[in-house]
Amino acid sequence: MIEKEGILFFEINRPNIHNAINFEVIEGFRQLVNNVRTNKTSKLVVITGVGEKSFCSGGDLSVFHKLKTAEESYSMLSTVAEVLYDVATLEVPTVALINGTAVGGGCEIATLCDYRLVKKEAKCGFIQGKLAITTGWGGGTYLFEKGMRYDKALKMLTEATPYDSNELLSIGWATDLFEGDKLDALNEFIAKMIVPHSTVLKAYKKQLIRKWEQSQLFERIMEEVKECSILWEADVHHAAVNSFLTKKK
Ligand SMILES: CC[C@H](C(=O)O)C(=O)SCCNC(=O)CCNC(=O)[C@H](O)C(C)(C)COP(=O)(O)OP(=O)(O)OC[C@H]1O[C@@H](n2cnc3c(N)ncnc32)[C@H](O)[C@@H]1OP(=O)(O)O
């Protein structure tokens, strides 16, 4: 995590497995939240993936497949969902700088951010359905908060397949698309946004957070987590994960 001129960068750094999320990465998100809350110097938070291939491929199945029961999965899902809620409700705007594939929980993390800058070649989707579960870190609940047409949001969740960048822009999920260097794209995107004082950015973010608090967003996310944990326990989910992990072996 590095901060430069008020912009705090958080990189998901597991490129050999498409930046899949394990508890170490979640601890990194926890540190990000603590950093923003205590240092008060950040104007913007940017989340991106290391490498050219993936932003994030969601939960690390080689770790999380060991969770078998609803109770075991609920413990992980709720822990991650709570940390990610703290990221979503940071007092400054958040940008998902999508450098590549964002699927599963990776698409959930991109969705909870305030902005999504998507690389032309990137594909993003809630592929959890292919594993016979729903989103489990709040991603479905955040999606319905993003002002997309309801039918487009539901279609994205239930098709459970990665969309290309043009489709992501046309349905209103992507804020903007970029080609070439992601940092150039970020600088261009925020050039007009970073006002001299971050007080204005924080005041606008507060309006959004107030709406989420009044509409009990966190409670609704925890309902999503509970329902995902119930589906997690089913044999069909474990079979789908095993077939992914044993493919090509
Ligand atoms: C935990 C719950 C959470 C939630 O929503 O609540 C979730 O995120 S559930 C969804 C979990 N994520 C996935 O199911 C995505 C799995 N990965 C893929 O679909 C593909 O790997 C993809 C599209 C990201 C890239 O495909 P590509 O063909 O380019 O690469 P490979 O599939 O050959 O992957 C290379 C290498 O990485 C391993 N890998 C990739 N993603 C994960 C992952 N999420 N967890 C663990 N390992 C992953 C893959 O197994 C390959 O390993 P290798 O030993 O080289 O065969």
pLDDT for residue 247? 85
* Beta-bridge partner residues of 98: 118
Name the CATH superfamily housing domain 2-180: 2-enoyl-CoA Hydratase; Chain A, domain 1 (3.90.226.10)
* pLDDT score at 248: 56
Q: How far is the CA of 51 from the centre of ligand 1 (A)?
A: 15
One digit per residue, pLDDT tens: the chain, 249 residues? 888 889 999 999 999 999 999 999 999 999 999 999 998 889 999 999 999 999 999 999 999 999 999 999 999 999 999 999 999 999 999 999 999 999 999 999 999 999 999 999 999 999 999 999 999 999 999 999 999 999 999 999 999 999 999 999 999 999 999 999 999 999 999 988 877 678 888 999 999 999 999 999 999 999 999 999 999 999 999 999 999 989 855
Assigned token pair, 24: 């170490």
The Å distance, Cα 20 to ligand 1 centre, comes to: 7
Decide whether any atom of ligand 1 lies within 6 Å of the 162 Cβ: no
Predicted local confidence at residue 40, as pLDDT = 86
The two beta strands, 101-103 and 123-125, are parallel
Spatial distance between the Cα atoms of 129 and 145, rounded to a whole number of angstroms: 20
Q: Is the CB of 61 under 6 A from ligand 1?
A: yes
Q: Is 11 in the pocket of ligand 1 (CB under 6 A)?
A: no
Q: Is 21 in the pocket of ligand 1 (CB under 6 A)?
A: no
| DSSP codes, 48-98 | EESSSSEEE--B-HHHHTT--SHHHHHHHHHHHHHHHHHHHT-SS-EEEEE
pTM of full prediction above 0.80: yes
Query: Most distant CA pair in the chain: distance in Å?
Result: 55
Q: Give domain limits for the chain.
A: 2-180
134 in ligand 1 pocket by Cβ < 6 Å? Answer: no
Report ipTM (2 d.p.).
0.96
Q: How many A from CA of 129 to the centre of ligand 1?
A: 14
pLDDT value, residue 249: 54
Nearest-CA residue for atom 18 of ligand 1 = 57
